[in-house]
């Protein structure tokens, strides 16, 4: 019991600092899901989810394992297309267009939506080539080096690697690798950045650096982050969506509201650790 209390108080203080930084204003919608159902074979992974994700805010998706939050994330940039047995029904709107329309090229879509994975996955290339990768494949013909520098600064990595841009990205530490992946994701200047548990493979110090970074990223990008770490969701996000078993979106509201006064008893149980 005492455990729960302490984590509760921790959350409360952090949420207050978090909400100070992003004053609430009427938001435009970046991504919207309407009646979204996703099936893996016969199994339903997402059950009738509708939600609107605001622009230039951090939106956290939380919930127990297997609740469909990562699946939801991968629907936005159609990474689920890679899975043969996956079937999607309903709409996901991005920039006012359903990304599952027949005339949408998923490759072109992904060039507008960056993604950061759970495990840092830099390419076995130099740091420079890693960051410039998106520019290269998109045929960017401007000043690549300037863009690389800008992106590394944006990912708070520039000062640590500016003298070793030609050494391999794999020589960096885990936390640096993840920031390299973030730099890689923002280099082509996408509109939305999806993050699938970006800190769960990192130590606390590296994780807190990434958290600070996410806060800064929200000034320019819409960030949608899946996390298992409740405190993290409370600290960094403006809006929080709680998924529970069976792929249902149980509650979606301002983060402060979710963590201080959730509507649903189940959400409160989950957040305080009684369930999940």
Partner 1 sequence: MATDTDTGTASAEGFGEVSRVRGIIFEYLSLGASVLGIFALAVLLVYVTIDAFDLTNASPEWLLTYFLTLVVPFLAFCLYSANDRELTRRAAGVLGGGLVAVAVVFTAIEAFVTQIPRLSWQLAYLFVVVFPLTGYVTYVGSSGRVGGVGFGLVGRLIGGTAIGLALAVLFLVFDARLWFLAYTLGIVPALASYAYGRFRERPGASTAAVPVGIVGVLVAVFLRPVIDTYPTTAFIYLWTLAIPIAAAGALVVGARGSRTEAIAAGGVPLALATVVGLFGGILGLGVGGPNALLVIAVAGVPTAVYLQRVFDAGDGVIGLGLPVLLVVGALVGALVVEAFGFPAPDPWIDGSFITEAPSRTPADAGLYPAIVGSVIIIAMVAVLSFLLGVGTSVFLEEYTANSGIVGALTRLLQINIANLAAIPSVVYGLLGLGLFANLLGLGYGTAVTVSLTLSLLILPITIISAQEAIRSVPDDLRRGSDAMGATRWQTTKNVVLPEAFPGILTGTILALGRAIGETAPLIMVGAATTVFSAPNSLFDKYSAMPMQIYAWAGFPQADFRYGVVAAGVITLLIILVGMNGTAILLRNRAERGT
Among 147, 184, 235, 239, binds partner 1 (CB under 8 A): 184
Cβ–Cβ < 8 Å for 107, 75: no
For position 97 contacting partner 1 by CB under 8 A, the verdict is no
Query: Is 85 a binder of partner 1 (CB under 8 A)?
Result: yes
- Of 70, 77, 199, 232, the one binding partner 1 by CB under 8 A: 77
Q: How far is the CB of 2 from partner 1 (least distance, A)?
A: 40
Cα distances from 128 to residues 147, 163, 174, 198, in angstroms, run: 10, 11, 17, 21
Segment (H or E) for 136: helix 127-137
Nearest to 229, CA basis, from 200, 259, 206: 200
Q: Which residue has the tokens 């469909």?
A: 68
For residues 102 to 121, the per-residue mask of contacts with partner 1, x marking binding by CB under 8 A and - elsewhere, is -----xxxxxx-xx-x-x-x
Decide: is 188 part of the binding site for partner 1 (CB under 8 A). Answer: yes
19: alpha, beta or left? (left if phi > 0; alpha if psi -120 to 50): alpha
Among 40, 123, 158, 275, binds partner 1 (CB under 8 A): 123
Q: Which is nearer to partner 1, 111 or 257 (CB)?
A: 111
CB 84 to partner 1: min, Å: 4
d(CA 85, CA 105): 20
Give the residue, chosen from 4, 138, 173, 265, that forms a contact with partner 1 under the rule CB under 8 A: 138
Q: List, in order, residues 6 or more apart from 110 with CB less than 8 Å away.
A: 77, 78, 79
Shortest approach of partner 1 to residue 61 CB, angstroms?
17
Helix (H, G, I), strand (E, B) or coil at 244: strand
Per CB under 8 A, residues contacting partner 1 are: 77, 79, 82, 84-85, 107-112, 114-115, 117, 119, 121-125, 133-134, 136-139, 141, 168, 181, 184-185, 188
């Amino acid at each position: 019991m005492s455990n729960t209390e302490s984590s509760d108080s921790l959350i409360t203080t952090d949420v207050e600092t978090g909400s100070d930084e992003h004053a609430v204003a009427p938001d435009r919608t970046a991504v919207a899901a309407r009646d979204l159902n996703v099936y893996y074979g016969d199994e339903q992974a997402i059950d009738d989810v509708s939600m609107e994700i605001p622009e230039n805010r951090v939106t956290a998706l939380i919930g127990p394992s297997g609740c469909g939050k990562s699946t939801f994330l991968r629907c936005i940039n159609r990474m689920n297309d890679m899975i043969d047995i996956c079937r999607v029904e309903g709409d996901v709107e991005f920039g006012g267009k359903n990304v599952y329309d027949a005339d949408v090229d998923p490759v072109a879509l992904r060039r507008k939506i960056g993604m950061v994975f759970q495990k840092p996955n830099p390419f076995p290339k130099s740091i420079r080539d890693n960051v410039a990768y998106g520019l290269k494949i998109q045929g960017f013909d401007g000043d690549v080096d300037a863009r690389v520098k800008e992106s590394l600064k944006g990912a708070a990595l520039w000062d640590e690697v500016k003298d070793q841009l030609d050494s391999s990205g794999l020589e960096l530490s885990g936390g640096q690798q993840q920031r390299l992946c973030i730099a890689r994701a923002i280099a082509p200047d996408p509109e939305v950045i999806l993050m699938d548990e970006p800190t769960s493979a990192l130590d606390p110090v590296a994780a807190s650096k990434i958290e600070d970074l996410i806060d800064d990223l929200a000034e320019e990008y819409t960030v949608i982050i899946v996390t298992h770490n409740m405190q993290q969701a409370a600290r960094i996000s403006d809006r929080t969506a709680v998924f529970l078993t069976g792929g249902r979106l149980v509650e979606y509201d301002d983060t402060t509201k979710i963590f201080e006064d959730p509507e649903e008893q189940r959400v409160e149980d989950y957040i305080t650790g009684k369930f999940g």
